Structure 1
Amino acid sequence: MPMGHTATAQAGSGGLTATEHRLANGLRVVLSEDHLTPVAAVCLWYDVGSRHEVKGRTGLAHLFEHLMFQGSGQVKGNGHFELVQGAGGSLNGTTSFERTNYFETMPTHQVELALWLEADRMGSLLEALDEESMENQRDVVKNERRQRYDNVPYGTAFEKLTALSYPEGHPYHHTPIGSMADLDAATLEDARAFFRTYYAPNNAVLSVVGDIDPEQTLAWIEKYFGSIPSHDGKQPPRDGTLPGIIGEQLREVVHEEVPARALMAAYRLPHDGTRACDAADLALTVLGGGESSRLHNRLVRRDRTAVAAGFGLLRLAGAPSLGWLDVKTSGGVEVETIEAAVDEELARFASEGPTPEEMERAQAQLEREWLDRLGTVAGRADELCRYAVLFGDPQLALSAVSRVLDVTAEEVRAAAEAALRPDNRAVLVYEPIEPADEAAEGEEGTDAHEGADK
């Protein structure tokens, strides 16, 4: 198959560059050369996550992440893991609201193997997908839900706050782990239709980063992926836009067997990819990003009413992002005491904004996190895919930090004033109970890693 239109662009940040190409079947390819160490990362993002699912069939995107490791046309059973690990590589996959990704980090001379493996399952997974593998992985995912979410302290939090923050029927109302009932209801034909629709080359971005020969790598990609047919049946995800402010405080109290009282809250914040989102990120970093933050200093160090206090950002492109507040109380401290102190600190920050020192420290912290992500071949491959899938331009990954450093202190203050207010949050309060008093019915948890990944 001919290469078709090949678009190549270059941009740099800190000496990093990336070139872009497109195969005739629609597969987008991003390559970034880096000969510092003799390894390379292969990363494949499919533009499908839990936001693409429909009512009654939640959890299919995450179930598919598992099914993709169950063999394909030329790779039987657990062969994908065995071949990669046998070649000295590492691998995994994750699912979020907005995408599913698969990735390998390989010794340089084994990059071709990783590309062949990814192409084999993209092109021929349906040859290996049968009732046995479907039942096997359905049980694995259900067990994952029990062990990591339903039956652990605070395991309900992410799912409950998401359901509160996004109204019923919204594409982000449910989390990627899915419900037990929907996992049970999914049929083999549901899975096959899902794969045909979303696991197509024109719905994916492939990045290869590290000690590579770009020309040779592109030739391998054309050889293995070029003959996979495209698929045009995908519907766009449902609209996830919402008003900038929730308009009221939503609240739920959970009585569970947990170590301590906890106050958690989700604030509705601007979409990822906007300057306002970067400003909000800086605000949350000053307020709750580590042990030098305002909330840690106030609640843990000064008042000693909490043992931990954090405030972080879940960036989302297709819906408002979420500011995630998480405070674990100390001893018998009432949640009301914590909440009053939090509101006092947020109001002060919305009025005064960050000090020059806080602004400098927050920008340095976000810059360091960005450098850490781009500093490894796997991290850079993932970031290039992220910006290509969610924002249409992988080059934005290489310049992201400059946009954060360009935000002013006044913009950070204004972001806090606009959003960090009581009528713009969903609140979850955990009240401990003794094991003997626990209700018989279990609460459904969620995959916080999957939901908040990246």
Structure 2
Amino acid sequence: MDRSPLLVPDHEFRLPNGLHVVLSEDHLNPVAAVCVWYHVGSRDERPGRTGLAHLFEHLMFQGSAQVPGNGHFEAVQAGGGQPNGTTGFERTNYFETVPAHQLELTLWLEADRMGSLLDALTEQALDNQRAVVKNERRQRYDNVPYGTVWEHLMAMLHPPTHPYHHMPIGSMADLDAATLDDARAFFRTHYAPSNAVLAVVGDIDPVRTRAWVEKYFGSLPDCPTAGGGTETAVRGPLPDPVPGERRAVLRHPVPSAALMCAYRMPVDGTREADAAEVALAVLGAGESSRLATRLVLDDQNALKVSMGLMRFAHAPSLGWLDIKASGRGDLPAVEAALDEEIARFAAEGPTKDELDRARAHLSRKHLDASATVGGRADLLCRYATFFGTAAGAAGSLPRLLDVTAAEARAAAAHLDPANRSVLLYEPPPRNHTPGAGPRPEPAPDPSPATAPTGRTADR
């Protein structure tokens, strides 16, 4: 198998205003998915305005010229569909899966907010969604065990001037500081047809669908408002990452002690990134992975081990590791065993059985992601956005399955302790009373001036 047939786009073209369009037929079920990716994420925010990309994801559901208030959600759901959106470091996406006969309405709704959102954007809508996003931060980050792990790791891996230093959720202070003018400038800069990909997948007539796309999107100017954007998108050389290993200890009331790591890995779209994903699957994906076998079954000093790849197209990807220790946790023993297993993998590479299990895991993961028309639309948008054409999506799984044992072994070079950040979660002492005694230790300021001693490192 050299490509996945369902991920081969039937039609791919650009409108004169720059909108990149992908159409794919699938008549198995009478549904259609509409997915719009804007090539903007938290990496495009300027200092002091973190969280604006995610805040704007919410604002896109707060009304446009002809669809006031919550009308977008209401119209899609009244027709039997499900809308949503997510924000990442490198993109923001909006998507609906609807009965096929509701496709024209859905395309009109997406076109209306792409072209006229600013006509309806008000201070009241901004304040309303600011409060929603702040509450989302409390629920998903600040008030749950291990909720801020990635916020700490990203800050440890990247200097403050790096666009990947902060998470898409943003800070409370920056969310409070965002103004209506900030939101308008962000839209003018990033929410243009030439900075977007539209994918339509499912029970569609491609000729009729193209006519609807041209009718509703084709008249939109490349720049949604006269005068153009007032910001500059972040595209170009990035600041150097923080060198060496970074370490921090957080004493929080978590269910169990934990060791979390993030390793710098190859950029997305490369053979090396595929090899890294296979290597990480061998080491830490599933209960039969090498690290789970060693730490959970043999040593019995861990409850669970997970490992995988967070792909970035504009910066080094990240290999992530999450180990929940058993009991109160002997984290030094866990880390020693981790380093030992990674060193053994780097010296010997995976066995045939390990490679087969990793391929099976990655195949299931890929099939899960592409099992629905919405999932396939998302994959097609990803490849069109980051690599210029949706056609590459069809070869994504075959490329992973083609990775050799030697290539997976070579990828282990990126798992050197000098190439990672480590976050240790330690529960407070058993006799600790909340509100008294030792307080949680914050992660250190991740600036070069506080370089560690010893080893070096969507809503």
Q: TM-score, normalised by structure 2?
A: 0.91
Is the contact between residue 171 and residue 238 of structure 1 (CA under 8 Å) also seen in structure 2? Answer: no
* Cα displacement string for residues 306-360 of structure 1 (whole angstroms, at most 9, x for unaligned residues): 1111111101111111111111111123210100010011011011000011112
Residue of structure 1 equivalent to 2:133: 141
Cα deviation, residue 396, structure 1: 0.4
Cα deviation, residue 371, structure 1: 2.3
The CA distance in 1 between the partners of 2:350 and 2:233, in whole Å, is 40
Residue of structure 2 equivalent to 1:125: 117
The CA distance in 1 between the partners of 2:158 and 2:243, in whole Å, is 12
Picking from 384, 389, 392, the partner of 1:393 is 389
The CA distance in 2 between the partners of 1:277 and 1:191, in whole Å, is 35
Residue of structure 2 equivalent to 1:407: 403
The CA distance in 2 between the partners of 1:439 and 1:180, in whole Å, is 25
Residue of structure 1 equivalent to 2:416: 421
Question: Structure 2 stretches of 5 or more lacking a match?
Answer: 444-457
The CA distance in 2 between the partners of 1:126 and 1:15, in whole Å, is 37
Residue of structure 2 equivalent to 1:5: none
Q: Residues 83 and 152 (structure 1 numbering): CA distance in 2 closer, same or farther, change over 3 Å? A: same
Cα deviation, residue 364, structure 1: 2.2
Secondary structure of 2:385's partner?
helix
Residue of structure 2 equivalent to 1:206: 198
Residue of structure 2 equivalent to 1:7: none
Secondary structure of 2:435's partner?
helix
The CA distance in 2 between the partners of 1:196 and 1:430, in whole Å, is 42
The CA distance in 2 between the partners of 1:69 and 1:126, in whole Å, is 12
Cα deviation, residue 304, structure 1: 1.1
Q: Residues 33 and 415 (structure 1 numbering): CA distance in 2 closer, same or farther, change over 3 Å? A: same
The CA distance in 2 between the partners of 1:162 and 1:443, in whole Å, is 14
Residue of structure 1 equivalent to 2:294: 298
Is the contact between residue 67 and residue 134 of structure 1 (CA under 8 Å) also seen in structure 2? Answer: yes
Is the contact between residue 58 and residue 174 of structure 1 (CA under 8 Å) also seen in structure 2? Answer: yes
The CA distance in 1 between the partners of 2:362 and 2:7, in whole Å, is 18
Is the contact between residue 246 and residue 424 of structure 1 (CA under 8 Å) also seen in structure 2? Answer: no
The CA distance in 1 between the partners of 2:159 and 2:243, in whole Å, is 13
Residue of structure 1 equivalent to 2:33: 41
1:164-313 alignment runs, 5 A limit:
164-231=156-223, 233=229, 235-239=232-236, 241=238, 247-313=243-309
Q: Residues 17 and 90 (structure 1 numbering): CA distance in 2 closer, same or farther, change over 3 Å? A: same
The CA distance in 1 between the partners of 2:153 and 2:72, in whole Å, is 36
The CA distance in 1 between the partners of 2:421 and 2:173, in whole Å, is 26
The CA distance in 2 between the partners of 1:102 and 1:278, in whole Å, is 27
Picking from 346, 365, 371, the partner of 2:367 is 371
Cα deviation, residue 128, structure 1: 1.1
Amino acid at match of 1:28: H
Q: Does 1:354 align with 2:350?
A: yes
Residue of structure 1 equivalent to 2:427: 432
Q: Structure 1 residues 433-442 or 381-390, which shifts more?
A: 433-442
Secondary structure of 1:427's partner?
strand
Question: Structure 1 stretches of 5 or more lacking a match?
Answer: 1-10, 445-449
Amino acid at match of 2:262: A
The CA distance in 1 between the partners of 2:127 and 2:56, in whole Å, is 12
Q: Does 1:81 align with 2:73?
A: yes
* Cα displacement string for residues 26-60 of structure 1 (whole angstroms, at most 9, x for unaligned residues): 11100000101110100000010000111111111
Q: Residues 15 and 386 (structure 1 numbering): CA distance in 2 closer, same or farther, change over 3 Å? A: closer
Is the contact between residue 170 and residue 240 of structure 1 (CA under 8 Å) also seen in structure 2? Answer: no
Residue of structure 2 equivalent to 1:67: 59
The CA distance in 2 between the partners of 1:264 and 1:15, in whole Å, is 36
Q: Residues 179 and 328 (structure 1 numbering): CA distance in 2 closer, same or farther, change over 3 Å? A: same
Secondary structure of 2:286's partner?
coil
Picking from 133, 138, 142, the partner of 1:150 is 142
Picking from 327, 332, 337, the partner of 2:333 is 337
Q: Residues 142 and 440 (structure 1 numbering): CA distance in 2 closer, same or farther, change over 3 Å? A: farther
Cα deviation, residue 260, structure 1: 1.4
Q: Structure 1 residues 326-335 or 265-274, which shifts more?
A: 326-335
Is the contact between residue 161 and residue 239 of structure 2 (CA under 8 Å) also seen in structure 1? Answer: no
Residue of structure 1 equivalent to 2:449: none
The CA distance in 2 between the partners of 1:68 and 1:437, in whole Å, is 44
The CA distance in 2 between the partners of 1:241 and 1:277, in whole Å, is 19
Q: Structure 1 residues 366-375 or 293-302, which shifts more?
A: 366-375
Secondary structure of 2:267's partner?
coil
Secondary structure of 1:436's partner?
coil
Q: TM-score, normalised by structure 1?
A: 0.92
Residue of structure 2 equivalent to 1:17: 8
Cα deviation, residue 240, structure 1: 5.7
Secondary structure of 2:27's partner?
coil
The CA distance in 1 between the partners of 2:439 and 2:326, in whole Å, is 28
Amino acid at match of 1:430: Y
Residue of structure 1 equivalent to 2:106: 114
What is the number of equivalent residue pairs in this alignment?
434
Q: Residues 423 and 296 (structure 1 numbering): CA distance in 2 closer, same or farther, change over 3 Å? A: same
Percent identity, aligned pairs only, is: 63
Cα deviation, residue 439, structure 1: 7.0
Amino acid at match of 2:427: P
The CA distance in 2 between the partners of 1:334 and 1:385, in whole Å, is 44
Secondary structure of 2:65's partner?
coil
Q: Residues 294 and 240 (structure 1 numbering): CA distance in 2 closer, same or farther, change over 3 Å? A: farther
The CA distance in 1 between the partners of 2:389 and 2:437, in whole Å, is 50
Is the contact between residue 315 and residue 322 of structure 1 (CA under 8 Å) also seen in structure 2? Answer: yes
Secondary structure of 2:327's partner?
coil
Amino acid at match of 2:81: G
Cα deviation, residue 167, structure 1: 1.7
Cα deviation, residue 17, structure 1: 2.9
The CA distance in 2 between the partners of 1:96 and 1:292, in whole Å, is 31
Cα deviation, residue 255, structure 1: 1.4
Q: Structure 1 residues 32-41 or 327-336, which shifts more?
A: 327-336
Cα deviation, residue 375, structure 1: 2.4
Amino acid at match of 2:280: L
